[in-house]
């Protein structure tokens, strides 16, 4: 049995964080999880209701940019690892209002790094993204040494956070690892992102808004494969390293949307081409051979299987997304798509 560990997960009420908490509590009987989450519009306690009373799970409502709060937690608990998922994560919102992205993604990460340094936390894992590398042409892959060339305020804030992690490693000798993953999909993803937006709209026979020509390419990874990669990095990753994580599943947005419509038996006439996103990255694709060579990881869920699982989850959890698609969400939707 693995040794006991206390993991401070930040942003655990979001999409990937909640999947990660389910994964870890399901796999390691003796690990403790402390989940620090601000419960922003996309932080949802429903994502964790099955583990809310788990004896090894503690939820703390709070902001990663709150120095006192972070210090208080790290002083009280003997944390072995911080896994920083907390972020403002939606590119379109970062175009609308970049400020909050800097506060949470940059300042918040620095506050956590400072706490980790002060309290000598043995390991810090920064959950980053392929978007820090910018955009690819029709060929080639991002490697860990591809220069950072972020194009959206979201990507720039994540790149800034990565650079701070690097600085804390170099300057203060902090033990830290950065993982950069491609586009995730799966259960509990907030329905502003492409896949859950399209599935939930199609289920309600609403239009499916595709930006530009729909030929932008993303490399899709099923969230459980991401969690499995993080589990390996957490236990066997080398401090100071960056690891790319990818899905080996490049698809154009149009292919993704057509696949969803086909599985749901809905007509392609629901598709509506809308004005493109400014600065829209054309293509992301990951070279994850380092993680494969060093830790023996590769994605296991084929896109065709993962998308079916995901669609079934959204069919079975209508209440979950219908509760979200009200009030503030509908205002956002109107602002984003109303006049597009």
The strand pairing partners of 179, in sequence order, are 127, 243
| Partner whose footprint covers residue 65, from ligand NAD, ligand TYD, none (CB < 5 to 8 Å by kind) | ligand NAD
Cβ proximity of 108 and 88 under 8 Å: no
Q: Which listed option, ligand NAD, ligand TYD, none, makes contact with residue 209 (CB within 5 to 8 Å by class)?
A: ligand TYD
In this structure, is the dihedral angle defined by the CA atoms of residues 111, 115, 117 and 118, taken in order, positive or negative? positive
192 is catalytic: no
Residue 216 touching ligand TYD (CB under 6 A): yes
Contacts of 249 (CB under 8 A, 6+ apart): 219, 220, 221, 299, 302, 303
Residue 181 touches which of ligand TYD, ligand NAD, none (Cβ within 5-8 Å per kind): ligand NAD
Angstrom distance (rounded) from CA 169 to CA 167: 5
Distance CA 210, CA 311 (A): 19
Q: What does 196 bind: ligand TYD, ligand NAD, none (CB cut-off 5 to 8 Å by kind)?
A: none
Of positions 91, 107, 181, 286, contacts ligand TYD by CB under 6 A: 91
Count of residues that bind ligand NAD according to CB under 6 A: 31
Rounded to 5°, angle at Cα 200 from 127 and 92: 45
Is 130 a known active-site residue? yes
Tokens of 290: 């380092």
Residue 336 tokens read as 């984003």
With CB under 6 A as the contact rule, which of the stretches 15-23, 261-269, 285-293, 299-307 interacts with ligand NAD? 15-23
In the set 7, 24, 48, 65, which binds ligand NAD (CB under 6 A)?
65
Beta carbons of 195 and 189 less than 8 angstroms apart: yes
Q: Least distance from C-beta 197 to ligand NAD, angstroms? A: 13
**Choice from 45, 100, 122, 211 touching ligand TYD (CB under 6 A):** 211
Q: Which of 194, 221, 261, 271 binds ligand TYD (CB under 6 A)?
A: 194
Provide the annotated active-site residues.
Answer: 130-131, 154
């Amino acid at each position: 049995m693995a040794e006991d560990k206390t993991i401070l997960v930040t942003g655990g009420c979001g999409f990937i964080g909640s999947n990660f908490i389910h994964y870890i509590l399901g796999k390691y009987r003796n690990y403790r999880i402390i989940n620090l989450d601000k419960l922003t519009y996309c932080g949802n306690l429903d994502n964790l209701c099955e583990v809310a009373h788990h004896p090894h799970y503690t939820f703390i409502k709070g902001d990663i940019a709150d120095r006192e709060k972070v210090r208080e937690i790290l002083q009280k608990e003997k944390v072995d690892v911080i896994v920083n998922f907390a972020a403002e994560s939606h590119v379109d919102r970062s175009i609308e209002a970049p400020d909050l992205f800097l506060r949470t993604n940059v300042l918040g990460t620095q506050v956590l790094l400072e706490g980790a340094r002060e309290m000598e936390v043995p390991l810090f894992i920064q959950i980053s993204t392929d978007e820090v590398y910018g955009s690819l042409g029709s060929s080639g892959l991002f490697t860990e040494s591809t220069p950072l060339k972020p194009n959206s305020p979201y990507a720039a804030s994540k790149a800034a956070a990565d650079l701070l992690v690097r600085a804390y490693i170099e300057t203060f000798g902090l033990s830290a690892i950065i993982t950069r993953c491609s586009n995730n999909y799966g259960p509990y993803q907030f329905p502003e992102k492409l896949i859950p937006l399209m599935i939930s709209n199609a289920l309600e026979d609403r239009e499916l808004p595709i930006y530009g020509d729909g030929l932008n390419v993303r490399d899709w990874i099923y969230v459980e494969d991401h969690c499995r990669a993080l589990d390996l990095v957490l236990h066997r990753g080398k401090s100071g390293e960056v690891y790319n994580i990818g899905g080996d599943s490049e698809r154009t947005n149009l292919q993704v949307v057509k696949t969803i419509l086909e599985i749901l038996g809905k007509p392609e006439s629901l598709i509506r081409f809308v004005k493109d996103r400014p600065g829209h990255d054309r293509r992301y694709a990951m070279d994850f051979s380092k993680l494969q060579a060093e830790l023996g990881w590769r994605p296991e869920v084929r896109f065709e299987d993962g998308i079916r699982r995901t669609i079934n989850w959204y069919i079975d959890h209508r209440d979950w997304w219908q509760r979200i698609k009200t009030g503030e969400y509908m205002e956002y939707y109107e602002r984003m798509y109303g006049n597009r």
